[in-house]
Structure 1
């Protein structure tokens, strides 16, 4: 009996290292039957709520995720200080048509864009000029002086990849106010970044140019953008009233939240897996990005539950301030470089808690080839796209340090219905899809910590 026990002891590490299919099956089975991801997300969304950088809710989320990772017994859990911008929305945002010959006075569904300077208590009234994106603005140039610019470039509905469609239109939101201010505009209205026509306005970040005045910038729903465009075709002297109480309060101290399980053979080689803990101040930040944060914590919890000891160090990171500054991702990369840490891979989930279909990546030919070679382990779970270019915003600052950057790639068709809206709440997340994403990330981490990349 002693000889048999010794034999089993000697072969068990070899079996763990080589039988990847069985170990990945164990990961999926555990997550789909005993997963914690969904209930942890419920608490984050329903008990804490939205988590704009610098807000009390963001501070509560930091403490929650720290205590959660400590409760799972990770080897190390700590807070990494980072200074973040503190913007507040203030009161109700308003966009109102005031002199329509057809409809009279009409309130539109609106949200101020992030980091926007408000109009002041009296609001802002002006003539409206419609443009299709930044190219349309540049074509008019000084023709927008003294007016409110209405950016109405839709996401391209013919593109199956909705993130590609988003990228093609989001420039007008991110820098529309800054560019319009160069030409003397006094305010901007932006069509919401959505591939659906509805009455839900989408917020999102925008950046000013310090050389020009900070003019108010608000988004309106896609349905209202269509309506406003139609009315402008019939009435060129249409006037719109804007009101926003947005205000930048300066920087405040916040934290990235980090937990890790140290590797047994190559502890100096780090695999970071995470999401961004902050969200916009509307909705609950369920898909963007509570889902990614809870999936990342779950990766390490699975290891603890199975009593697996990784060869390489696995680190769960909750980045702060992706939405309106990216300060958490930048500080994490700065500290890693300062300490001489060696990240071999950084994995981010920031595309929603939808059905996973693959992983996107940015890296060397050898790194991406290694990732693609693991397709056979994922196809039983309908995860097959391993050659998509991409990565993630918070892991981007790590690129010059050499790791492969990987993004969980879910089915994106519904993501921009909820992105940056009051509709991004816990109830719109499907438990099974969320858990499949967590299991997929854990499976990929397992392959990387076993084989390297």
Structure 2
């Protein structure tokens, strides 16, 4: 009886104390609860363990992609959300086939194997493979310099590296990824029989990094095979070509493009208590490339986004606005999920005010980027001091994210979680993008940071 009386007195004192606190002090306490819950009782790492180690790589249209849909839907249903559903979307089905094989031949009988992987969407080589002399170029713009006379019948080797002097590694990636995406289509115009592209990776290692590529309007019978080569082997090949200009490369790719298949975006919602027709979404993409298990890209973003809704429920917060988690399908080679979600939202007349995406890996969070006008950005800057105790310092006006991009309508604010990016491209689209390279604490800090931002946007709305 004495214990109950003391507990009642404690609650009365706490309520009285809370009533005297400013909004900033209250928000600081709520955000502390969010971080505590994520770090002490989080589920994101457990979910990622299952996605990575029990399911694995989740290439669009694959059996494992569907298994990931089923698993995440079941987990969202277990959270007691107001709604959980699947949104159908047709996605491309590209199949890698048997492992690729390649070697460099500097003289008859003098060969060395090199590490390559087909780019996503590449056609296969002829049954016996493709073998030809190699010409090295530093980018698409270099092709015109050499012209058809020097390129026809050869394999074009695109060897422009990511710039190591750029602190923002995504900027470095953006500066050379065009050779991966469009290199084959452009080289084919000059009569090339294949392309090798230096992997989008800042360090030297033996992992080739795949990624999406396209042929544009190139006729099917004129399309040439395209593969990424590891950075170590790119360095070797470049050095060899300086000595033996007649060096040849053999490459064997076994991929095929099949008919589109049905897949799904996975969506869960906590319906708003005051403004149910105003929507806030948080998400990542459920699909991944097939070389690793997609732990950083983008298993981390998927589980962090799921954790946002769980954490809000765990701390007893009742959102004013409807908050959705959207696990998008087919970001890697088509963006079909993001486009479909935006199209359905527009058709239904849904008012989306804010969207937050996590698609930069599960590393230590550093801040957020906001795709918005300067006047709206000031509201987010005012919240920055609430994040500084957690070492979240970077609030910038920049790109929000690929999957949420189609929602852009001039009114919505798009945002992206921005972790430390220095290690991201060591793993991006490669076979070492696996669960063991995701740090549990870093992942949970990211989930808490996202939840805290969603909490503030929901509580105050956007000006």
Distance in 1 (CA, whole Å) between partners of 2:21 and 2:436 is 41
TM-score w.r.t. structure 2 length? 0.94
Q: 1:432 and 2:441 equivalent?
A: yes
Q: 1:371 and 2:377 equivalent?
A: no
Distance in 1 (CA, whole Å) between partners of 2:449 and 2:388 is 11
Q: Given the alignment, which residue of 250, 255, 259 partners 1:241?
A: 250
Q: 1:225 and 2:231 equivalent?
A: no
8 Å Cα contact 2:102/2:115 also seen in 1: yes
Q: 1:123 and 2:129 equivalent?
A: yes
Q: Work out the number of aligned pairs and report it.
A: 452
| Regions of 4+ moved over 6 Å | 4-17
Distance in 1 (CA, whole Å) between partners of 2:154 and 2:434 is 36
Q: Given the alignment, which residue of 239, 260, 274 partners 1:265?
A: 274
Q: How does 1:15-94 map to 2 (within 5 A)?
A: 19-94=26-101
Distance in 2 (CA, whole Å) between partners of 1:356 and 1:250 is 39
* Shift of residue 12, structure 1, vs aligned partner: 7.2
What residue number does 1:405 align with?
414
8 Å Cα contact 2:185/2:218 also seen in 1: no
Q: Given the alignment, which residue of 345, 351, 361 partners 2:360?
A: 351
8 Å Cα contact 1:96/1:105 also seen in 2: yes
Q: How does 1:141-152 map to 2 (within 5 A)?
A: 141-142=147-148, 143-152=150-159
8 Å Cα contact 1:192/1:219 also seen in 2: yes
Tell me: CA distance 1:375–1:5, structure 2 relative to 1, closer, same or farther (3 Å).
closer
Distance in 1 (CA, whole Å) between partners of 2:19 and 2:176 is 51
8 Å Cα contact 1:337/1:401 also seen in 2: no
* Shift of residue 190, structure 1, vs aligned partner: 0.4
* Shift of residue 8, structure 1, vs aligned partner: 8.8
Q: Could you say what secondary structure the match of 2:51 adopts?
A: helix
Q: Could you say what secondary structure the match of 2:279 adopts?
A: strand
Q: How does 1:130-145 map to 2 (within 5 A)?
A: 130-142=136-148, 143-145=150-152
Tell me: CA distance 1:6–1:222, structure 2 relative to 1, closer, same or farther (3 Å).
closer
* Shift of residue 138, structure 1, vs aligned partner: 2.7
8 Å Cα contact 1:17/1:450 also seen in 2: no
Q: 1:300 and 2:299 equivalent?
A: no
Q: How does 1:325-344 map to 2 (within 5 A)?
A: 325-344=334-353
* Shift of residue 210, structure 1, vs aligned partner: 2.3
8 Å Cα contact 1:16/1:23 also seen in 2: no
TM-score w.r.t. structure 1 length? 0.96
Structure 2: 5+ residue stretches without partners: none
Q: How does 1:375-386 map to 2 (within 5 A)?
A: 375-386=384-395
Q: Given the alignment, which residue of 167, 172, 180 partners 2:174?
A: 167
Distance in 2 (CA, whole Å) between partners of 1:447 and 1:392 is 20
Distance in 2 (CA, whole Å) between partners of 1:363 and 1:100 is 57
8 Å Cα contact 2:106/2:244 also seen in 1: no
Distance in 1 (CA, whole Å) between partners of 2:102 and 2:376 is 49
Distance in 1 (CA, whole Å) between partners of 2:164 and 2:96 is 31
Q: Could you say what secondary structure the match of 1:126 adopts?
A: strand
Structure 1: 5+ residue stretches without partners: none
Distance in 2 (CA, whole Å) between partners of 1:331 and 1:293 is 18
What residue number does 2:215 align with?
208
Query: Which stretch shows the higher mean deviation, 130-139 or 346-355?
Result: 130-139
